[in-house]
Amino acid sequence: MGSFFSRFKVFGIVLLIISAIIITLFYSALKPEVKLPIYQPADFNAELVDATLLHKKKYHTVADFKLTNQNGEIITQDNYANKIYVADFFFTTCQTICPVMTKNMAKVQEVIKDDEEVMLLSHSVTPEIDSVAQLKKYAIEKGVVDRKWNLVTGDRKEIYDLARKSYMAAKTDLNNPYSMVHTENFVLVDKEKRIRGTYDGTDPVEIEKLLEDIKILKASYVE
């Protein structure tokens, strides 16, 4: 009799495990796949968008660029080919939102530092101040890992155009041509150079959302 109940118990456990697996698979099959939107200039606040792009609703991608990083190296879109990356705009002498943004970008760096699929890109909005030497000093102070995170400087107009026409991450300074008031936004860019999300770089909750969205975006490339 004891042997019978023992066998029945084993059968019950096996049945329970099989049932749990079936339920899990069934739930996974029914669970909708989470996808990130693809943002177009028309989706952004008009203050952040160049007038020529205000009504663009499709096919927007980040423009090609050629800038110089903290090591004096030329950085182009080729350095980010087949990469997911997070972009922002800052300047090294900023005493308001930039230190918080840089601290939070460093947190993102810590999470993705061993992930070959993800990189970071920070553009100086005061290139006349942020020389290579200045960027290098700042990079060392902030713990920038060179292979993961480029701090770039270059031609003011090119940086302005990238901010306004590619990333929609800055307002125009009406008093100075090609000067800008950068936002706190971190911009998530996919491997096709499309914008997939924007996040408040000063908000810890938004940073967590960014990290989750990076996972979602990475999963979308898994066959």
156-192 pLDDT, tens per residue? 999 999 999 999 999 987 677 677 889 999 999 999 9
**d(C-alpha 213, C-alpha 79), whole Å:** 22
Q: So what's the pLDDT on residue 32?
A: 55
Q: Is 182 annotated as a binding residue?
A: yes
Q: So what's the pLDDT on residue 173?
A: 77
8 has a pLDDT exceeding 70 = no
Q: So what's the pLDDT on residue 116?
A: 97
Residues 46 and 122 in one domain: yes
3 has a pLDDT exceeding 80 = no
Name the residue range of residue 27's domain: 1-31
3-state secondary structure of 1: coil
List of residues 6+ apart from 24 with CB closer than 8 A: none
Give the residue from 194, 146, 168, 186 showing the smallest Cα distance to 37: 194
User: To 5 degrees, how large is the angle CA 206–CA 126–CA 60?
Assistant: 55
Residues 54 and 156 in one domain: yes
Q: So what's the pLDDT on residue 9?
A: 53
Whether residue 36 lies inside any domain: the answer is: no
Residues 67 and 115 in one domain: yes
Whether residue 153 lies inside any domain: the answer is: yes
Q: So what's the pLDDT on residue 29?
A: 45
pTM recorded for the entire structure: 0.84
Q: Is 123 annotated as a binding residue?
A: no
Q: Which helix (H) or strand (E) holds 29?
A: helix 2-30
**Residue range 66-125, pLDDT digits in tens:** 999 999 999 999 999 999 999 999 999 999 999 999 999 999 999 999 999 999 999 999
Q: So what's the pLDDT on residue 179?
A: 77
**CATH number of the domain where residue 215 is located:** 3.40.30.10
Residues 128 and 157 in one domain: yes
Q: Is 98 annotated as a binding residue?
A: yes
**d(C-alpha 120, C-alpha 122), whole Å:** 7
What is the tally of structural domains in the chain?
Answer: 2
